[in-house]
Amino acid sequence: MLTQIISLASQKGGTGKSTSTLNLGYSLASLGNHVLLIDGDPQGGLSLGTNIGEKEKPGLADILTGKAKPEECIVNSRNLTLSALGSGHFSTDSLIKSETQAGKHILMDAVISVSQGFNYVLIDCPAGMGSFVRAFLSVSNSVIIPLNMRNTAVRSLPVFLQFIEDVRHKYNPSLTVEGILVTMLDFASRSEIEIFKTAKDTLPSTTIFKTVINHDYIFEDLSLNGAAAAMSRKATKAARGYFELALELHERKINRVKGDEDEEFQGLF
């Protein structure tokens, strides 16, 4: 099974990394893929936004401190081919130790170990350009950059793209930018729409996803219940964007495997 490891990362916090990891993962699993979600943020945003933390399973912190093996930490969903590896419980001491371990190969080896048997592995990275993010990018095939249309977030993008380029050059030559995902776009905000238009005109068309995730307060309500948008009849509209993103991602994967030219088909039967 060909596994695609994708980090969701950005320099700024509050861009929708955890929300996007959960809802994209749910959408990919609904399309028949085996998907693993990894909460790579010591703050545990993904674990808090789901019910992973309530399972009392060890997580990433326990792997990095040697208290658990990676395969012992995976939680399987009830109905879908969707699994998750939570952040675990980071103390101040374990966080300092884990930062040191992340600079080595322990974190990378753990990701590779748990990734076996999955079509997609989505890693919810912490904000910034620290050792955790560097380690996750070093083991990923590609990175999705969630980006809201706020001036500070957009202006920080070139710095983060340079960081990705540095990781590619030093640690992971095959790392690619899967795409920039516009999140939490408020069409009622004139400034956000202007920034969005400028971003589309400035960035290469192949860099930015066609799919746009609109601003919707229902994502906050869903996080309180540990649910993806597609699980609620009230959130059908909110869920649609992530299903479209899953299809766009799958289409990109097919194009990479088969190339731009279609082969001559003989028919299905």
CB 187 within 8 A of CB 158: no
265, part of any domain: no
What would the mean pLDDT of 11-40 be, rounded to a whole number?
92
* Domain span at 178: 4-254
Q: Report angle CA 113, 86, 106 to the nearest 5 degrees.
A: 40
With bands split at pLDDT 50, 70 and 90, how would you rate the model's confidence at 136?
very high
d(CA 77, CA 84): 8
With bands split at pLDDT 50, 70 and 90, how would you rate the model's confidence at 101?
low
What would the mean pLDDT of 42-48 be, rounded to a whole number?
82
Q: Which of 45-54, 147-156, 203-212 has the lowest mean pLDDT?
A: 45-54
Determine the pLDDT at residue 219. Answer: 84
For 58-87, b/e burial (b = at least 16 CB within 10 A) is bbbbbbbbeebebeebbbebeebbbbbbbb
With bands split at pLDDT 50, 70 and 90, how would you rate the model's confidence at 127?
very high
Which of residues 65 and 49 earns the better pLDDT score?
65
103, part of any domain: yes
> Domain count of the chain?
1
Q: Which of 97-101, 197-201, 209-213, 223-227 has the lowest mean pLDDT?
A: 97-101
Picking from 90, 82, 130, 135, the residue whose alpha carbon sits closest to that of residue 111 is 135
Determine the pLDDT at residue 104. Answer: 62
249, part of any domain: yes
What's the mean pLDDT when you consider all of the chain? 85
266, part of any domain: no
The yes-or-no verdict on residue 100 having pLDDT over 80 is no
The yes-or-no verdict on residue 267 having pLDDT over 80 is no
Determine the pLDDT at residue 257. Answer: 67
What would the mean pLDDT of 197-211 be, rounded to a whole number?
86
Determine the pLDDT at residue 87. Answer: 85
For the segment 207-221, what is each residue's pLDDT rounded down to a tens digit?
Answer: 899 999 998 888 877
d(CA 89, CA 246): 30
From the number of C-beta atoms within 10 Å of its C-beta (0-12, 13-18, 19+), residue 159 rates as: exposed
d(CA 150, CA 15): 9
What would the mean pLDDT of 161-188 be, rounded to a whole number?
94
CB 124 within 8 A of CB 9: no
Determine the pLDDT at residue 266. Answer: 66
The yes-or-no verdict on residue 260 having pLDDT over 60 is no
What would the mean pLDDT of 139-144 be, rounded to a whole number?
96
Whose tokens are 């095939």? That residue is 141
The yes-or-no verdict on residue 95 having pLDDT over 70 is no
Q: How many residues does the chain have?
A: 269
260, part of any domain: no
CATH number, domain of 35, equals 3.40.50.300
259, part of any domain: no
263, part of any domain: no
268, part of any domain: no
